Amino acid sequence: MTSPTRSGRARTALYGTALAAVVALAGPALPAAAHSAGAPVTAIDPAFARAAAAHDVPRDLLVAVGYGETRLDHHDGLPSQDNGYGVMHLVSNPVRHSLERAARLTGATVTALKEDPAANIRGGAAVLRALADEAGLAPADRRRVDAWYPVVARYGAPHSDTAARSYADAVYDVLNRGARARTAGGEEIGVAPRPVAPERGRYAGIVPEGLQASTDYPPALWVPASSGNYSAGRTSAVTKVVVHVTQGSYAGSISWFQNPSSQVSAHYVIRSSDGQVTQTVRERDTAWHARSANASSVGVEHEGYVSNPAWFTDAMYRSSAALTRHLTSKYGIPRDRAHVVGHSEVPGNDHTDPGPNWNWAYYMSLVRGETGTGKSFPTWGTDVNIRQQATTASTRVATLPGPTTVRVTCQVRGQSVTHDGRTNDAWAYLPDHGGYMSNLFVDVPEAWLPGVPTC
């Protein structure tokens, strides 16, 4: 997310604790965000049904809006980048007050709307209904999902028509494809796929983003940030790429950069579902995204939340890596972790993105174009687990049934693993399996593999 400028060997397999919650929405199962231990779990599906009935909003539309905003994750009541809360992303910032409006409409306190998922869903439904009334949506029209398009657009990005169309198009794409979710509480929430013919109203005249191409990076779309959210020109050569996570939705982040009160921006934003890229600040100008690194870097935002790896899709990784590969070639930037960095690694920043769920080894292998490269090593042991990160507590992504040969592209220091009197904190990244294996199970004498670079 951006920040303002101002201011002897084992004979058994390596096991660990897998993440229990998964989210699977119109795609492969992926881990859901972690929730606070002991926190009460709200039944989300009944909350959607009750809120939809109470405010005469189509239930599937309500779910699709929540998915588009947060993947139906309440994020423990923590705010997004533009100060939005909960499953329905109720916002309180200088130009958007859907949180306060939800409080007035439902009688719930602002605190309850932030902290209670059911109240938050009820608040989102109330705001949608109020917007529908303002748009003159008759009772018969409220039963037709296609008629809600302008209402959804205003809900998601009321101050940017371009971002509003992008937001509403994404919601209707969810309705068209269908969705199936498993929440942290174990519920399944489904939206059956349906044909959609959205009635865009005045948004039909908004030029789709796909026709506004970037001149800096041709695959990107161009939606400029407010001129008050970046500095014209640069005072330093570009020497690095900074990786961010938006802590919000794709369209919402683009809209936030267009809001002059935000005082933040990034050069590029990348969508989770398909890797679509939008440029919001020209590379020749200084985006306000990483404080001390602003003048010397290009900032790349990735749609999602740090705590939820479900946002980090293969499409996003590949699209982002293609952009970073282009930037490193254009500016002569070394393709290594000293020059392609996370927001949290920039001096003078207090942010945590992209966080522990971002797969740096995979990402950098794509940036370097390492398909088919790497060194081969023999392994030993049976049922050796490959982990998403260099720790036994991270998600198991694959298992080696017995001794074999693996391809290693890089290695990292991670959790120390001790077995049979041996300890090693080095982990090898196996691109063919998409994860890490403790070097204890590589059948060579060295603890740190010879000739293999650091990830």
- Selecting among 100, 301, 370, 446, the annotated active-site residue is 301
**Cα 389 off chain centre by:** 17
User: CB–CB of 363/342 below 8 Å?
Assistant: no
Task: Note if 69 is an active site residue.
Answer: no
User: CB–CB of 239/333 below 8 Å?
Assistant: yes
Segment holding 181, helix H or strand E: strand 179-182
CA neighbor of 105 nearest in space, from 88, 83, 81, 82:
88
| Tens of each residue's pLDDT in the chain, 455 residues | 765 543 333 322 322 222 222 222 233 333 333 333 344 456 899 999 999 999 999 999 999 999 989 888 888 888 888 899 999 999 998 889 999 999 999 999 999 999 999 999 999 999 999 999 999 999 999 999 999 999 999 999 888 888 899 899 989 999 998 887 667 677 888 899 999 999 999 999 886 544 467 889 999 989 999 999 999 999 999 999 999 999 999 988 998 999 998 999 999 999 998 899 999 999 999 999 999 999 999 999 999 999 888 788 888 998 999 999 999 999 999 999 999 999 999 998 889 999 988 988 889 888 988 766 788 888 888 889 999 889 999 888 888 887 888 889 899 999 999 877 789 999 999 988 888 999 999 988 899 999 999 88
| Total count of residues recorded for the chain | 455
Name the pTM for this structure.
0.73
Q: Give percent of the chain with pLDDT exceeding 90.
A: 56
The identity of residue 446, as a single letter, is: E
